[in-house]
Amino acid sequence: DSDLVPVGMIAVAPSVIVVNPAVPAKTLKEFAEWAKGRGANGVNWSTAGTASTPHFVAEMLKEAGVPGVNVVPYKSGSEGVTAVIAGNVEATSEASIVVLPQVKAGKLRALATTWDKISAAPEIPTTKDSGFPTVRIGHWAGLFAPKGTPQPILDKMAAELLAVVKSKDFADKLVPSGIE
């Protein structure tokens, strides 16, 4: 039983599957074929540690039939992304806000987003459009209040939050960075 109650959703940062530009795959299907062709070596996939979102994406890819995804845990998402850029591992997934600047700079290649289309990068296909509909996850942020908060206060907080989230200022600040 939680000590918190939900007030409302703030935003979702889609996870983006990325590879080092030296990886020959340009699509998620090509990545799966490339991984299959690597046999026992497989593909090294950095994570932000056990039970992190990149770890879940790796496991979802395995369940979807992508062979040889070797999970390599790092201390943080930024270390995992740096490992892909450096060529120490071939692939990972991380929140759009983290990887889109690296993709735009040519340091990473985006294969697919694990959520819906990203407004700031509509050219990146979804995992569903890429033939992997079960690979779906996003980094979400929400607002919670202590359990027992009176309902009128929760209602007021929810209404105020919704007004902010639907505002142009809010969208203008978050959407360009890859947050929906």
Quote the CA–CA distance of 115 and 6 in Å, as a whole number.
Answer: 22
Q: How do residues 5-40 score in pLDDT, each as one tens digit? A: 999 999 888 899 999 999 999 999 999 999 999 888
Whether residue 22 contacts residue 109, with contact meaning beta carbons closer than 8 Å, is answered with no
pLDDT average, residue stretch 65-79? 92
In this prediction the pTM is 0.87
Q: How do residues 88-108 score in pLDDT, each as one tens digit? A: 999 999 999 999 999 999 999
The distance in angstroms from the start CA to the end CA of the chain is 29
Q: Which of 54-63, 146-155, 170-179 has the lowest mean pLDDT?
A: 170-179
- How confident is residue 1, by pLDDT bands cut at 50, 70 and 90? low
Contacts of 120 (CB under 8 A, 6+ apart): 96, 100, 175, 176, 177, 178
Work out the mean pLDDT of the chain and round it to a whole number: 93
